Structure formats: structure tokens, C-alpha cells
Amino acid sequence: MKRIFFPTLAAALCLAGSYGYGQQLDKVRYTVSNDFETGELFGWEAYPYAQDIAFDALYFARSNPTHNNSKYALARPLKANDTGEFEHGMTKRFNFWTTPETVVKCAIYFQSDRNPETLEIGIGTFEGERFTHTIENPQANQWLELALPMTSFRSDNGSVLTAGKHVQVMTVKGSYPVVSYLYTYTILMDDFEVNGERQRRFIATNPSSTDFELFDVSILNKHFFEGDDIALQVTPENNTALRAVKGVLLDGKGKVVKDDIPFKSQGNEWVNPSIYKVGKQDNAGQWTINLSGVTAEGEQVKWGFRFLVPVKRVNEHPRLFFSAEELQSRLQNEDSPAAKKILENALKNTDFMEVDIDAIEEGGDRTGENLMGPA
């Protein structure tokens, strides 16, 4: 079987959450809905990929046209630089399994001086398979509403997409055989939705955890320093009953610090109050604890949490300082005239040392606007 590789998705195989290949994972129902109402892209990228992938200022959520007069729709405009073949679209990484009820829903709009030759919706799996549904000669300049059941998608050899396929990527692509180099062609998507199943996860309750859905990563909302006991209390999603839970702890360099870590049951939660005491010899950085539980039916619940272990507490200003004696010694041994001038000025001018930290006005916090778009 020909293997299809999706380059920007290779990082998905390295995430903290264990996908459990070759094992029967316990799963939960799962639906992804992207209506783009905040102006966010929700992880969708421009497709086909450019030779030099970078920020594309033309790829954004647009306020017109939109489906059913919504606030935004995802838009991929592209200026034709020739009259020959032309294609544009979007793609996104996923991590779920198909079910008999899997349906792909979306609304597509081609802003164009002509109808595209085809609209192709593609589904790629972790096993390297690719299934597509192609619409011939879709009408331009109007919203095309799609609701495609799983059986609408077929591979190159004609096989139908079935339940239990592990979906890694989806693509939306419009193609033109001939275009005008004078025009910009835009494909828009709104009200995207797909359903299936994903693996059941653990949720940390002490310390609490945050789940980054787009990256299949969960983090603990706590740092651990030298002398701290790494402790963890978790519960499986939907309080499903488990027979046992164990863990593996990895340090900032990926080295296994402790294996076969037992957790004790306390009601619907699993607890270990003293997993490992952080020492000064430990590697600082992003640590990971991967958990594995077993349900009464023998299925596995596998998930991981990342967290920061600075080891040493920072009690000083994180800038680099020199004493006057250190600067004077450096000056006496410095040959460069330019460097000598800098050092002499540093020794003579000490006004910069008198700083009122509380009087410094920080810039406005634009994090929310940068991530989600304007309110």
C-alpha cells in the first residue's frame, strides 16, 4: 500500500499523549465544531503548502461573505500568477477515530469569475491511507452546504472509508484548470463539523490541569522545585471505573526518572502524594508523566501531562549584573578601544541604577486579542 505522508503533521507523533498503537483504547464520543465566530483559525492551515511555509497575511477569517450571516468565515485568497492550473484550500490536523455515525459538515464558497473544476474533501489516516470525496463543477459565488457521511469517502483503489479509521488530517481543496492572472481567487469555509471518537483522557484535579485540544497536550498548572515532592491526583474522563493506574516519569531531557509508578484509588480518583522528590542533580526543563489505566473490560486509558521543573528557584532579577570591581578588572584587561569606552561609561554613569520598578508602566495585555481576534 502506498504511504502518504503529511509533513506538517509529523510532530503529532511526538506529543505527550500516548496514542496506544496496537492496543485497545477506551474511547469517548467526540465532535469538532469550528464556526470561526471569534476570528480564530482553529488550527486550520493554508493548503496546498507553500514551498517556504511561513506566515501568510492573506490567510485569515473574513467578515464577508459568511454562511447564514455569521460573524466570520475562514478565507484562503490566492492571486493567480499564470493562466494554467490553479488550486487552493485549507487543512487541519486531527486525532480521532471514525464511527458508523461519522459525518463531515461544512459550507464552502468560491469567490471567483468562474466555477472551479472540482472541490475535493480529503481525509488522511495515521496508517497512511487517504480517502476523498470530489464534487464536480461546484457553483461559484454561493454557499455550498455539505453533509457527507463516512461512506461518501473513497480511496484511490475504490475502497470506502469505514469505522475505526484513525484520522490524522483533513483537507479542503478547490481546483481550476484555467484561470485569469488578473484575478484573486478565494475559497471560504464556514460552520465546519466532524464527529467520531477519541481516546479517553485523564484529568488532573490536584494540581489542576489545562488541556490544549489543538495539540493533544495537557499541562499541570504547577511548577516543581528542588525539595518539592511531585504529587498528582487524577480522574479519568466521565469518571469511568478503572481497575488500576500506573505512571512513568520523564525529566527535561526525556530520561526515565521513575517507572511503574503506582496510584491508589480514592473513590473516582487516583492519587500518589509522593511520586518523586526533586533534587539539585535533576535536569531542569519540561517534564512529563504518562499514565495508563485499565477499565473493567480490559481497555486502556492512556494520557500524559507536561509540567515545568525549574529545579532552582530564581530569587534574583534574571538580568546579568556586574559589580564595580568586576567592571574595573575587565577594563584593565581590555584591548578594544570601543569596549573600553563602554566600560568607562558604565563605571562613571550610575543613574541607571536608580530605578523605581513600581513606576514602570507595562504595555496593555493583548494576549486574548492576538489569539482570538478583536472583540
Residue 315 is predicted with a pLDDT of 67
Residue 267 pLDDT grade (very low, low, confident, very high; cuts 50, 70, 90): confident
pLDDT in tens, 287-298: 999 999 999 889
**Position 12 pLDDT exceeds 60:** no
Considering the domain architecture, whether residues 111 and 246 belong to the same structural domain is answered as no
CB atoms within 10 A of CB 10: 9
Considering the domain architecture, whether residues 136 and 76 belong to the same structural domain is answered as yes
**For residue 81, is it within any domain?**
yes
- The pLDDT of 283-306, averaged and rounded, is 95
Domain ranges, residue 140: 27-199
| In the block, residue with C-alpha cell 489545562 | 210
Considering the domain architecture, whether residues 271 and 208 belong to the same structural domain is answered as yes
Residue 22 is predicted with a pLDDT of 40
Residue 316 is predicted with a pLDDT of 59
pLDDT in tens, 106-162: 999 999 999 999 999 999 999 999 999 999 999 999 999 999 999 999 999 999 999
Considering the domain architecture, whether residues 186 and 97 belong to the same structural domain is answered as yes
- The pLDDT of 209-234, averaged and rounded, is 95
**Position 216 pLDDT exceeds 50:** yes
**Position 309 pLDDT exceeds 80:** yes
**Position 2 pLDDT exceeds 70:** no
Considering the domain architecture, whether residues 146 and 223 belong to the same structural domain is answered as no
Please count the structural domains in the chain.
3
Considering the domain architecture, whether residues 182 and 246 belong to the same structural domain is answered as no
Considering the domain architecture, whether residues 259 and 292 belong to the same structural domain is answered as yes
Considering the domain architecture, whether residues 52 and 195 belong to the same structural domain is answered as yes
Q: Which of 139, 166, 199 is the last residue of a domain?
A: 199
Find the CATH number of the domain harbouring 222.
Answer: 2.60.40.1220
Considering the domain architecture, whether residues 248 and 174 belong to the same structural domain is answered as no
- Of 18 and 71, the one with more pLDDT: 71
Considering the domain architecture, whether residues 273 and 142 belong to the same structural domain is answered as no
Q: Cα–Cα distances in Å, from 67 out to 34, 177, 218, 229?
A: 12, 27, 33, 53
**For residue 156, is it within any domain?**
yes
- The pLDDT of 338-365, averaged and rounded, is 77
Residue 16 pLDDT grade (very low, low, confident, very high; cuts 50, 70, 90): very low
**For residue 358, is it within any domain?**
no
**For residue 219, is it within any domain?**
yes
**Model's pTM, two decimal places?**
0.76
Residue 9 pLDDT grade (very low, low, confident, very high; cuts 50, 70, 90): very low
Residue 214 is predicted with a pLDDT of 87
pLDDT in tens, 168-197: 999 999 999 999 999 999 999 999 999 999
**Position 21 pLDDT exceeds 70:** no
Considering the domain architecture, whether residues 39 and 187 belong to the same structural domain is answered as yes
CB atoms within 10 A of CB 324: 10
Q: Which of 181, 199, 217 is the last residue of a domain?
A: 199
Mean of the per-residue pLDDT values of the chain: 88
Residue 6 pLDDT grade (very low, low, confident, very high; cuts 50, 70, 90): very low
Considering the domain architecture, whether residues 79 and 142 belong to the same structural domain is answered as yes
pLDDT above 90 covers a percentage of the chain that reads 70
- Of 372 and 360, the one with more pLDDT: 360
